[in-house]
């Protein structure tokens, strides 16, 4: 009888379980708030328990240095953008500077940008006026040369007529001399006069050619006034655009760092575990300043399963949850389901022990069993994750068989 009863007990099935500690948390994870660069707390705008909205300021850091750098790089970028707009206007031969929309938008928030734009307009106008004056002076010299040409042409015509008369008189005098009716001196004087008139006529013609050459040179200079200005503007514009590209990167970094002096909430939630409470206190880079517990998020249990037990846990398994912070007599155990098993282990910073985070979901029907009891984030939970059923005999024999297998292997 006793033997039969013992055998019967030995073959009775028993459910196994992986027992792990855990805590109540939210499904989307609590957000830890930190700052990538650190700084000095200038204003602490929330307290523990405050409800905050996404984007709401939480802490404001001292932004005097980052603000000055942001302003300096922003102003430098505005100067380069305005200069580039002026150079493009010169290159295109425009009559006015067309500033980009980006610069005009900056003008709305920074009056100094308007001053920069006005300075570039003034520079463009003065340079245009200087070129126009230079062109007018060159045109005046062309007009003067054209007047000289008209004068030289008149002189050449006069010398041409005079030369014709002298040649006629010389021909008559030569006939008289041959007839011995005039002297040799008279003939020589007329020949010298004919040579002199031709020389003066030739000089007038050369003067016309020189004046025409000067006009061509002056017209070339007029064309060069604008072309040189455009070429110089193109070369300078290439340098300015390169500088704009570099400064744009610096300005983006400076603006981002200045914006980050205001630490904002990443989501709707409740402030918890606020670390920084004193104005002027140092905020270290990447230090957790507070936590934001999400609002209207489903509560789950996050169990810390030992590394040696993780092979027994998989998604979909049933878990029994015991809330040790609540009254054990009036609070029932709730059933849950393994929702997610972490792919890698995590090390507890406090105990330096490794574990696998396992998320367990609780249905609304199970939560309703708590009645008046209320779960809070961070509440401790004892978790029993149900494993395969084994008999009492298997529980007794399994360790012995494992030991024998290891001995045989050795």
Each residue's pLDDT tens digit, 210-265: 777 888 888 888 888 888 888 888 899 999 989 999 988 888 888 888 888 899 99
Alpha-carbon torsion 360, 366, 367, 373, what sign?
negative
On whether both 390 and 303 belong to a single domain, the answer is yes
355 contacts 345 by C-beta, under 8 angstroms: yes
Instruction: Determine, yes or no, domain membership for 1.
Output: no
On whether both 303 and 288 belong to a single domain, the answer is no
On whether both 330 and 227 belong to a single domain, the answer is no
158 contacts 167 by C-beta, under 8 angstroms: no
Instruction: Determine, yes or no, domain membership for 2.
Output: no
CATH number at residue 395: 2.40.30.170
Instruction: Determine, yes or no, domain membership for 197.
Output: yes
Q: Cα(334)–Cα(318) distance, rounded to whole angstroms?
A: 10
Question: Does position 90 have pLDDT exceeding 60, yes or no?
Answer: yes
On whether both 99 and 211 belong to a single domain, the answer is yes
On whether both 75 and 224 belong to a single domain, the answer is yes
The per-residue pLDDT for range 74-88, each reduced to its tens digit, is 888 899 999 999 999
On whether both 75 and 184 belong to a single domain, the answer is yes
On whether both 360 and 274 belong to a single domain, the answer is no
* The model's pTM: 0.54
On whether both 79 and 194 belong to a single domain, the answer is yes
On whether both 106 and 220 belong to a single domain, the answer is yes
Instruction: Determine, yes or no, domain membership for 3.
Output: no
On whether both 125 and 169 belong to a single domain, the answer is yes
Smallest CA-to-CA distance from 193 within 163, 149, 216, 214 is with: 163
pLDDT at residue 10, rounded to an integer: 47
**Residue 188: domain span:** 68-257
366 contacts 334 by C-beta, under 8 angstroms: yes
CATH number at residue 55: 2.40.50.100
How do 380-391 and 318-322 pair as beta strands? antiparallel
On whether both 88 and 41 belong to a single domain, the answer is no
On whether both 153 and 274 belong to a single domain, the answer is no
Question: Does position 180 have pLDDT exceeding 60, yes or no?
Answer: yes
How many domains in the chain? Answer: 3
Average pLDDT, integer, range 103-116: 86
Instruction: Determine, yes or no, domain membership for 215.
Output: yes
């Amino acid at each position: 009888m006793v033997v039969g009863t013992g055998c019967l007990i030995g073959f009775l099935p028993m459910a196994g379980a992986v027992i792990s500690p855990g805590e109540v948390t939210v499904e989307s994870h609590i957000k830890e708030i930190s700052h990538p660069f650190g700084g000095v707390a200038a204003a602490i705008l929330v307290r523990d328990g405050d409800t905050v909205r996404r984007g709401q300021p939480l802490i404001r850091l001292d932004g005097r240095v980052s603000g000055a750098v942001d302003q300096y790089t922003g102003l430098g970028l505005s100067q380069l953008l305005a200069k580039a707009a002026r150079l493009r206007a010169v290159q295109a031969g425009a009559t006015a500077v067309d500033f980009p929309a980006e610069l005009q938008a900056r003008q709305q928030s920074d009056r100094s940008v308007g001053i920069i734009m006005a300075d570039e307009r003034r520079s463009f106008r003065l340079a245009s006026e200087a070129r126009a004056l230079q062109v007018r002076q060159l045109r005046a010299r062309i007009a003067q040369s054209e007047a000289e040409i008209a004068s030289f042409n008149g002189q050449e015509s006069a010398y041409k007529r005079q030369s014709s008369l002298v040649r006629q008189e010389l021909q008559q005098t030569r006939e008289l001399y041959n007839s011995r009716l005039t002297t040799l001196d008279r003939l020589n004087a007329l020949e010298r006069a004919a040579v002199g008139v031709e020389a003066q006529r030739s000089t007038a013609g050369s003067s016309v050619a020189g004046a025409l050459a000067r006009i061509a040179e002056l017209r070339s200079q007029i064309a060069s006034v604008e072309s040189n200005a455009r070429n110089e503007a193109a070369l300078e514009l290439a340098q300015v655009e390169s500088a704009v590209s570099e400064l744009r990167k610096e300005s983006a970094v400076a603006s981002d760092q200045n914006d980050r002096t205001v630490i904002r909430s990443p989501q709707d939630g409740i402030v918890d575990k606020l670390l920084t409470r004193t104005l002027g206190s140092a905020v270290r880079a990447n230090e957790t300043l507070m936590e934001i517990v999400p609002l209207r998020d489903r509560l789950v249990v996050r169990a810390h399963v030992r590394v040696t037990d993780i092979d027994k846990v998989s998604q979909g398994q049933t878990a029994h949850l015991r809330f040790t912070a609540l009254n054990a007599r009036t609070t029932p155990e709730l059933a849950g389901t393994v929702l997610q098993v972490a792919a890698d282990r995590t090390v507890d910073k406090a105990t330096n022990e490794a574990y696998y985070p396992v998320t367990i979901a609780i249905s609304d029907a199970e939560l309703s069993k708590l009645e008046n009891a209320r779960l809070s984030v961070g509440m401790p939970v004892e978790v029993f994750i149900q494993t395969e059923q084994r008999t009492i005999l298997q529980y007794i024999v399994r360790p012995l068989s494992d030991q024998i297998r290891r001995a045989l292997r050795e």
